[in-house]
Chain A
Amino acid sequence: MTELTNLKVAEIRDGHRAGDFSAVEVAEAFSANVAAAKALNAFIVETPEHALAAAKAADADRAAGTLKPLSGVPIGMKDLFCTDGVQTTAASHMLEGFVPRYESTVSAKLWDAGCGMLGKLNLDQFAMGSSNETSYFGNVISPWKRKDGGNAALAPGGSSGGSSSAIAARLCPAATGTDTGGSIRQPAAFTGISGIKPTYGRCSRWGIVAFASSLDQAGPMARDVKDCAIMLETMAGFDPKDATSLNMAVPNWEAALSSDLKGKKVGIPKEYRLEGIDLDIDAMWDVGIAMLKDAGAEVVEISLPHTKYALPAYYIIAPAEASSNLARYDGVRYGLRDLPDGAGLQDMYAATRADGFGPEVKRRIMIGTYVLSAGFYDAYYTQAQKVRTLIARDFEAAFGACDVILTPTAPSAAFGLGEKMADPLAMYLNDVFAVPASLAGLPAMSVPAALNREGLPLGLQIIGKAFDEQGVLNAGLAIEERAGFTARAEKWW
């Protein structure tokens, strides 16, 4: 029998159903991998007891003939989702020790479907970062190494870096992620796995620690397209507790998977050909185009003229919303309180927030506060929201001529830890290809396509029309079947 921790979500689900192994064996095998992988720092809290309890229930359900859709599948939970009775920190000092008395909608759906939780996954603090270097609980390390004889520790991407590192290292077969401006797709690309951000509103935001509410979307990360479809079916769905939740039926994405793209048109946005970009990235993009042609699609050039303004608009809108959302951390209701001797209420707020937030979080709150302040609101915030309208219109116009859009996921392969921390702007540029779809609320996924010359994974991004996750998944599947990406990180941890 193959090693249980090499199995994917569908294989675990189906194998468990068929009686090939018990859910307890699966949970124990993954929990052992988690416990042995401290060097990756992918988990903030490990919960083998939760995974084991769900596994025992799954085995009992199998005996009783009452199996659930994901019975026997253990997963990792990004530590941005509130979990009843299990510490939820958003990788911040502010929420260290915070133990929710309620369960987020998305995690509740996964537990109800039979999944077990292996632990809470590390991330960039409050999901702000692209390298997982802003976590209060230390950097997550990618399992991948460059094939240059060196031993540099590489970034797993961010903000869902614990999720990406854990899946790539076979610590869990799938995990939740959240994506505000690329936080599912870029880490997936950096670690050779798949991840999808659905249409804004598909997954409930209730119980997810808020960053930028008009952009935040949960989505699955897993090792292939089919597993992403399976996970997303469980995570998505209308929730009256989220004012922006879509009141739409959840399609059967898994059942409708098809890599036959005959009659489909794939748009290639010319503005995404960046000058001076890594040659490997452009070459991989061309290979991806050829793969989709081979799958029967027609390839057309399209234009998204406001692409270059997406990133600056994002870095006004996201911090503005963050400054407002993070105003809730006041040292009164939950989380950290820092009360210097003799301090009054205002001093307590300021001391608590100085102590509880890391530098990147403070930077974004400050930017957000500034662009929303009297006298600057129109020049920055309103202007950015108008540009956001233009970016959404670009996509609308482009989708008149194509069904999905193919681009690289990130402008480079994984970089070394520390390489970009000194310059916030260089770090922000990582999300140049991911942010436009976020601003337009569109479904987008990353699938692994190739290794670069250094032996590191590169991902291709597929962006779809609103509500057309199926089109995105199908194009992703066409690439997956042709890329035959089977490379994995050699174990060193």
Chain B
Amino acid sequence: MAIDQATVRKIASLARIAISDAEAAAMEGELNGILGWVEQLGEVDVTGVEPMTAVIPNQLRLRDDVIDADPLTGGNRRDDVLANAPAAMHGFFGVPKVIE
């Protein structure tokens, strides 16, 4: 399943990565090289095989339903959460105007 430059641009748009025409052209070859190589997985007979979901059997846990169960991940840390935001204002994350 070879991909063309239009597909490359479509993937880039899904991945929210801006690419130039030159980058799309370069990536077309690279991605086809990699996808052509992984294609060999199609040879493997996987009849009746379940896809792996957990590599080490482990039960998913639920934490206690309490506020601030862990001091590191609990609430009341607004300033810490915003500390690295490129454009925090008034205690919120700032984004450009969205007008639909």
Contacts and interface: CB of A to CB of B under 8 A. Distances in A.
Interface residues of A, number: 73
Contacts of B52: 385-386, 388-389, 392
Contact of A387 (B3, B7, B35, B46): B46
Interface stretch (A12-20, A269-277, A290-298, A342-350): A342-350
Given A102-B80, A362-B17, A390-B46, A367 B35 contact: yes
B86 A331 contact: yes
A275 to B, nearest CB: 16
A357 B17 contact: yes
B63 interface: yes
Given A348-B95, A370-B3, A441-B56, A333 B83 contact: no
B19 A387 contact: no
A384 B55 contact: no
Contact of A334 (B7, B84, B99): B84
Interface string A367-407: 10110010010011011111111101000000000000000
Given A312-B37, A370-B3, A386 B55 contact: no
B38 A380 contact: yes
A345 B42 contact: no
B76 interface: no
A285 to B, nearest CB: 25
B46 A383 contact: yes
**Do most interface residues of chain B lie in helix, strand or loop, or is the interface mixed?**
loop
Given A201-B56, A344-B98, A382 B17 contact: no
B27 A363 contact: yes
Nearest to A343: B96
Contacts of B99: 344
A396 B51 CA distance: 16
Contacts of B96: 339, 343-345, 348
A344 B97 CA distance: 7
A439 interface: yes
Most buried by A among B16, B44, B60: B16
B96 to A, nearest CB: 6
Contact of B95 (A345, A351, A390, A424): A345
Contacts of B31: 363, 366-367, 370
A334 B15 contact: no
Interface residues of B, number: 55
Contacts of B55: 200, 214-215, 388, 392, 439-441
A326 B21 CA distance: 23
Contacts of A346: 16
A388 B54 CA distance: 10
Interface in B36-73: 37-38, 40-42, 44, 46, 49-56, 58, 60-61, 63, 70, 72-73
B3 A101 contact: no
Interface in A252-273: none
A309 interface: yes
B51 to A, nearest CB: 3
A335 B46 contact: no
A316 B38 contact: yes
A461 interface: no
Given A200-B55, A333-B84, A353 B18 contact: yes
Interface string A400-442: 0000000000000000000000001100000000000001110
Contact of A240 (B8, B53, B63): B63
B6 interface: no
A366 B27 contact: yes
Contact of B15 (A313, A365, A384, A466): A365
Contacts of A199: 56
Interface of B: 1, 3, 7-8, 11-19, 27, 30-31, 33-35, 37-38, 40-42, 44, 46, 49-56, 58, 60-61, 63, 70, 72-73, 77, 80-81, 83-87, 93, 95-99
6 contacts: A99-B83, A101-B77, A101-B83, A315-B37, A369-B15, A382-B51
Interface of A: 98-102, 199-201, 214-215, 240-241, 243-244, 246-247, 306, 308-309, 312-313, 315-316, 323, 327, 330-337, 339, 343-351, 353-354, 357, 362-363, 365-367, 369-370, 373, 376, 379-380, 382-390, 392, 424-425, 439-441, 466
